[in-house]
Every structure is written in C-alpha cells, then in structure tokens.
Amino acid sequence: MSEETKHCENPSCFCRGLGPDATAFCERMWSKVTRDHFRNSRVEFLKGLRSLIDEKIERLQRHAEPKGTQVPVD
C-alpha cells in the first residue's frame, strides 16, 4: 500500500478507512476520550443490529411449522 493511500491502522479510530486526511484530522483534533466515545457508539450500534436479528430469528422459530409428518400407528 502506498503512503498516499495508507489508512489509519488503529482499530479503535473513528476515521478508519476514510483515508489519510481523515486520519490526520482525528489524530490532531480529537482527544483519546472523544475517540473512545465514538468507538463505543459503533459497538453499541452493532449490538443493536444483533438484537434486531436475534428478535427476528426468535419470531421465525416460534411460528415455524413443525418438521416431519405424523404417521398413525396401529
């Protein structure tokens, strides 16, 4: 990867993946506390998505038709 296209390597950085200009902005303008708040907000957002998916799976499983067929035994 060239120096021109290098992105922030820090996984907790808010600007990760946006390019060198955003990385420089974050490093100069935002304190560690501010970056931590944005990182935590990303984690909470993903937890919210997980919760939505878990609820949908639960609803689908509750209303699922029983598998197999019943066979009368004489």
Is the pLDDT at 4 greater than 70, yes or no? Answer: no
Per-residue DSSP letter, 7: -
| 14 contacts 38 by C-beta, under 8 angstroms | yes
Residues 46, 6, 25, 40: what is their CA dihedral angle, to the nearest 10 degrees? Answer: 20
* C-alpha distance from residue 44 to each of 28, 38, 74 (Å): 25, 10, 57
The pLDDT of residue 7 is: 47
Closest CA to 43 of 2, 3, 12: 12
**pLDDT tens-digit map of 26-62:** 667 778 888 889 889 999 999 999 999 999 999 998 8
- What Rg value do the Cα atoms of the chain yield, rounded? 23
Q: Where are the domains of the chain?
A: 1-56
Confidence (pLDDT) at 3: 45
